[in-house]
Amino acid sequence: MTDNDRMVAKVSRRSILKGSALSLGGLFISAWLPPMVGRSFAAATVATARLGDNAAPGFGAYVKVARDGRVTVISPKIEMGQGVQTAIGMMVAEELEVPLSQVSIEEAPPNGALYTDTLLQFQATGGSTSTRFTWEPLRRAGATARILLVQAAALRWKVAPSECRALSGQVLGPDGQHADYGDLVDAASLLPIPNDVALKPIADFKLLGTPAQRLDTPNKVNGSAQFTIDLKIPDMLIASSLTCPVYGGKLRSVKDEAARKVQGVRDVVRLDNAVAVTATNFWACQQALKALEVEWDFGAHGSVDSAQLDSALLDASSRDGVFAKQTGDITAAIKSAPNHFEAVYQQPFLSHSPLEPMSCVAHVRPDMCELWVGCQAPIFAQMGAAKISGMPMKKVVIHNQLIGGSFGRRLESDFIFQAVDIARQVSYPIKLIWSREEDMTHDKYRPHYVDRLNAALDKDLRPVGWEHRIVGASIVASYLGQLPESGVDGDAVEVAIEPVYSLESLQVRYIRQDPKAIPVSWWRGVGPLRSTFPIECFIDELARNAKADPVEYRLGLMQEQPRAQAALRKVAELANWKEALPAGHGRGVAVSAVFGSFVATVIELEMQGEKGIRIKRLTSVVDCGFVNNPTSVRSQMEGGTLFGLSAALFNEILIEKGQVVQRNFNAYRQIRMSDAPAVHVHVMPSVESPGGIGETGVVPAAAALVNALHAACGVRERRLPLSRFGYFTV
């Protein structure tokens, strides 16, 4: 892995503004973010690897009330389809007492001192943390602004602030006085920030908790929304690249005479492991790339294939590895148990393959490196760009853009670094656009995994001992350069070491087995997704083995998880779980407790022939605490569930001669409208703090599908995707 791929750097501490009001043409409020708990292991690893001990505490976002009364929120969270910026706007609007239509959102620049997510411990969007992270601080910022505006009005009218109230962007006085926020901001900006700001009780909410149209929807519908791939800046040319098809390989030589003759082509740029073409349009770039005569040095990985990687992974599952969790006496439980049950599950490499392929606008000038790019972790992009361009970080300016899907892909900055490497060698700005083929074959893939589970069962075939061996690549080590002293990849064992079920004796081992021929990174759902699939399939097998109802069997093991139990009972009710089905039909269930939310999903399917699958009904119940915007929660659950079904049914990355086989969506199929069932989502009412939702729906989908398949036809598949075994949708 090159230095550009994994940029480990220190961020100097900056002076921290702790809540003073700034007179910048309006009232400007910072949201102070106290330390919080509950971040994922993946998030902690990224922060440790890239920021070290210098990760600064953050503010989250700023709220500005301008002289025209408009409210602007500088959001630390980028919008990539999850609706987070609407949720942020709603939080501020609720406490500030303004209509949502009066709020606009701007993306924050890279600044770890100001915009660090205290759940992630660095400035980023991911891990289903956005609402959890901003829930209190952003409301507090809105409430602070409201209090200051009310105080300014009270001083003007010479009355007590308690005699005034805020409503719809105005302050109303006791004797019929009224003043627009815009008329009060200058006076309010001179007042001291209050130390104790009371937030509204949930019972008083007017906007939060109600369905709201997303702020980004109109521009996305009318086509005016600008993603990176849409941007144009003066004198810009398009760039496209061809990177060595074998990971770790190098560019040996290239003949470019024919490529330079393609109309519109300007330059051919050689990189360490790639060659790029700049031209007036994308088509010319692609034609020129095809005309290049390239010779690659494939290096050590040119003979690797999937069969070798699979065999190495399965062989590794018989090793002892290291202990990730031990409770009770697993040896005694296994020895004394009258019954045992063992199963092995396999999950494949997965590509992110977002709708918008990797793209970045870059302009490297003698005095500045300027980037326009949709990026989940802008400060890390800034670090790497500074190193490649040879400039200090303060000379690297990033304009964060809307993201056309990511699923974790834009946590990585390899494509940004490549854009900077190209731009530093030309005299004009370039917009690097990867083709779909380049995007899919040069991803940072979700690792493949083997999970070996062994249960010691009592006379009623209920688990009294639970042994779980997890084998796979270490994403954590790819960030840190090595595993922690414990030898455990905490992301790989997440959920497995804290299952939703109460188990007397639990032993979890981790065995690291890296596929050096393919780079790995986090994929939507991260560790909780990879662990939930084998656990929920295994618990289903135990229930079937005991000839017990899978829902009741689960409930009996979830005494310490009342919210998960409630979600499971509700989904069983809504899905008519007890209702008999005709032959060839089946229902499958899965439960998850991840990202601070609790989900139970039931899939009902019908077999058509031996391998045809028709998903007839899908029901999900989610308890994600208090719901900011029910519309967004349902949308995210629907989209996440279908995303998870795509992976379970069709998605798999295979390697031949060191190269990725799947090059486009014809070979890496996604679920289609004709395949997709209606997703019925029930949101449990709750006044608990909000949980995550962006990745939550993905997590139980695969297990529920595989469990439903077994219920319908009696076949238990333990490896994904199902299409590998000839299953297809009808």
Residues with Cβ within 8 Å of 146's Cβ and at least 6 positions away in sequence, in order, are 95, 96, 97, 166
Higher pLDDT, 520 or 49: 520
- Token readout for 300 is 């050590």
Q: How far apart are CA 697 and CA 639, in angstroms?
A: 8
Residue 3, pLDDT above cutoff 80? no
Beta-sheet pairing, 322-327 with 506-512? antiparallel
User: Please, what is the average pLDDT of the chain?
Assistant: 90
Other residues' Cβ atoms within 10 Å of the Cβ of residue 318: 11
Q: Is 70 exceeded by the pLDDT of residue 79?
A: yes
Establish if 17 belongs to a structural domain.
Answer: no
Question: How would you classify residue 722: left for phi > 0, otherwise alpha for psi between -120 and 50, otherwise beta?
Answer: alpha
452: phi then psi, degrees, rounded to nearest 5: -110, 115
Backbone angles phi, psi at 563, to 5 degrees: -70, -40
Q: Provide mean pLDDT across the span 44-49.
A: 39
pLDDT band at 31 (very low <50, low <70, confident <90, very high): low
Same domain, 341 and 374: no
Helix-helix angle 526-545:701-713, to 10 degrees: 20
Structure confidence by residue, pLDDT tens digits, 400-439: 899 999 999 998 999 999 999 999 999 999 999 999 999 9
How would residue 663 be classed by pLDDT, with cut points 50, 70 and 90?
very high
Establish if 11 belongs to a structural domain: no
Query: Do 250 and 329 fall within a single domain?
Result: no
Beta strand residue intervals within 449-518, DSSP E: 449-457, 463-472, 506-512
Q: Looking at the domain assignment, is residue 459 inside a domain?
A: yes
Burial, 485: exposed, middle or buried (Cβ in 10 Å; 0-12, 13-18, 19+)?
exposed
Least Cα distance to 273 among 293, 247, 291 occurs for 247
Tell which of 221, 237, 270 closes a domain.
221
Q: pLDDT value at position 124?
A: 78
Question: Is residue 40 over pLDDT 50?
Answer: no
One domain for residues 342 and 456: yes
56 shares a domain with 78: yes
Identify the domain containing residue 538 by its residue range: 306-349+445-729
Read off the CATH number of the domain in which 164 is found: 3.30.365.10
pLDDT, one tens digit per residue, over 445-489 is: 999 999 999 999 999 999 999 999 999 999 988 877 888 899 999
363 is a domain residue: yes
Given 221, 243, 261, which residue is the final one in a domain? Answer: 221
pLDDT at 609 over 70: yes
* Structure token digits, residue 74: 């500088």
Least confident of 182-186, 240-244, 291-295: 182-186
pLDDT of residue 56: 29
Closest to 406 in 3D by CA, of 130, 658, 86, 648: 130
Residue 8 placed within a domain: no
| Domain presence at residue 3 | no
Mean of pLDDT values over 66-82: 88
- pLDDT tens, residue by residue, 545-561: 999 999 999 999 999 99
Output DSSP code: residue 172. Answer: E
pLDDT band at 26, cuts 50/70/90?
low
Question: Which of 26-40, 197-211, 706-720 is predicted least confidently?
Answer: 26-40
Cα–Cα dist 161/352, whole Å: 53
Cβ atoms within 10 Å of 310's Cβ, excluding its own: 18
How distant, in Å, are the alpha carbons of 303, 304, 305, 662 from that of 656?
Answer: 8, 7, 4, 10
Two tokens, residue 151: 């105080």
| pLDDT, tens only, 131-147 | 888 888 889 999 999 99
Inform me whether the pLDDT recorded for 9 exceeds 50.
Answer: no
Q: Which of 13-27, 405-419, 522-536 has the lowest mean pLDDT?
A: 13-27
236 pLDDT higher than 50: yes
The residue type at 290: K
In percent, the amount of the chain with pLDDT more than 90 equals: 79
CB atoms within 10 A of CB 54: 11
Of 721, 666, 119, give the one whose Cα is nearest residue 448.
721
Q: 256 and 217: one domain?
A: no
Q: Answer yes or no: is pLDDT of 234 > 90.
A: yes
* Structural domains of the chain, count: 3
Give yes or no: residues 496 and 400 share one domain: no
Which of 172, 203, 221 terminates a domain? The answer is: 221
Which ranges in 507-546 belong to alpha helices (H)?
A: 526-545
Let me know: does 325 contact 493? Beta carbons within 8 Å: yes
**DSSP code per residue over 222-285:** HT---BGGG---TT-EEEEEEE-SBTT-EEEEEE-HHHHTSTTEEEEEE-SSEEEEEESSHHHH
Mark whether 124 and 245 lie in a shared domain.
no
Is the predicted pLDDT of residue 370 greater than 60, yes or no? Answer: yes
Is residue 115 predicted with pLDDT exceeding 80? Answer: no
Residue 219: CB atoms within 10 Å: 12
Co-location of 555 and 660 in the same domain: yes
Using the structure block, give the residue that is written with the tokens 């009318």. Answer: 222
What would you report as the CA-atom Rg of the chain, rounded to the nearest whole angstrom?
27
Residues 33/58, Cβ–Cβ less than 8 Å: yes
| Angle CA 246–312–657, to nearest 5 | 25
In a domain? residue 10 = no
Residues 90, 147: one domain? yes
CA distance 566 to 573: 11
Least confident piece of the model among 115-124, 158-167, 363-372: 115-124
Residue 133: the pLDDT is 81
Whether residue 151 lies inside any domain: the answer is yes
Residues 514 and 410 in one domain: no
In this prediction, residues 57-84 reach a mean pLDDT of 79
Q: Are residues 180 and 253 in the same domain?
A: no
CA–CA distance, 711 with 602 (Å, rounded to integer): 12
Of 30-34, 106-110, 281-285, the one with minimum mean pLDDT is 30-34
DSSP 449: E
Same domain, residue pair 340 and 364: no
